[in-house]
Amino acid sequence: MATPIDIHTPIKSDDPANSSSAISVRGLSVRYGDRLALDNVNVDIGWGTIVGVIGPNGAGKSTFLKAILGVVPHRDVSLLIGGKPQSVGRKQIAYVPQREEVHWDFPVTVEDVALMGSYGRLGLLGRPSTKDRELARWALDQVGMLDRHHTQIAELSGGQQQRVFLARALVQQGRILILDEPLNGVDASTEETILHLLDDFRKSGGTVLMATHDLDIAARVSDDLCCINRTIIAFGPTAQVFTPQVLARTYGGKIMHTHGQHDIIIGENGSVGVNPQHVHEHPQLIPNGGVETKDKAET
């Protein structure tokens, strides 16, 4: 059973072995005023993998992603990206924020938004080149939005807007792709497009971190799962981590709906089961075939 890393010594940025990790974190803690959002997070994430970040609302999933990006203050941390200090290594990261964090009424076109992915390379005074525009149009074509490149972003549906922001991330050309709830409120076609692109990105050697509330998709597409509830409850291969015991410890005794296919029921005493009418459909996703168990969560 994969468990959180308990190594608390700083990572040396000049250690060649660290280049095998896309992201290495030791001792990450984040506070918002008096509230401790993350406590002593330790994890190593490799290259060429999709990592699903799961946990209840308010558990620190978005904070974890933003700390890796360097946009929230943190303390007592050693954080390397591609074997380099965060301040340097974060240039390798492309980011897709939650839709709720974006001002969609800003007067820009679809192509303008995709081109924003090149701004990190251009600097404040740089202007997009012909090559940058070709890259933006290639990215829009990848997400099925090239024919809307002159459309105002505010005129698109939620799923279309999410496709455009994924195109912007592709233009950034990072080796690490971080997405915060990218499938919230999108249609089935957009979901399929996004997941296909993430799989291609992983196959090319890139690393994906995707926070999601959709446990069904997390279990289906993730190579590894990172279960968070103010700290890392468990991290490792999905087949080992996606267990009733770990889910009970992560979610603390709640009822969860996994994309309408499975109802995972976690009792306050740690008992876990699924809606009986769904057990025969995908029993491999719930260990023991969804049979209720009273075993407590593993520590």
Q: Which CATH class is domain 16-242?
A: alpha beta
For residue 23, the 8-state DSSP code is E
Query: Which residues fall within 8 angstroms of residue 176, CB to CB, at 6 or more apart?
Result: 22, 23, 81, 82, 92, 93, 94, 206, 207, 208, 209
Say how far apart CA 109 and CA 113 lie, in whole Å.
6
Per-residue pLDDT of the chain (299 residues), as tens digits, is: 333 333 333 334 344 334 679 999 999 999 888 888 999 999 999 999 999 999 988 899 999 999 999 888 777 678 999 989 888 888 899 999 887 777 777 789 999 999 989 877 776 666 878 898 999 999 999 999 999 999 999 899 989 999 999 999 999 999 999 999 999 888 899 999 999 999 999 999 999 999 998 998 999 999 999 999 999 999 999 999 998 888 888 988 654 554 444 555 454 544 444 443 333 343 333 333 333 333 333 33
Residues contacting residue 253 through CB under 8 Å, at least 6 positions apart = 266, 267, 268, 269, 270
Domain ranges for the chain: 16-242, 243-299
pTM for this model (two decimals): 0.78
What is d(CA 256, CA 54) in angstroms, rounded to the nearest whole number? 12
Torsional sign, CA 126, 129, 133, 135: negative
Nearest of 48, 100, 93 to residue 70 by alpha carbon:
93
Paired tokens of 225: 């799962």
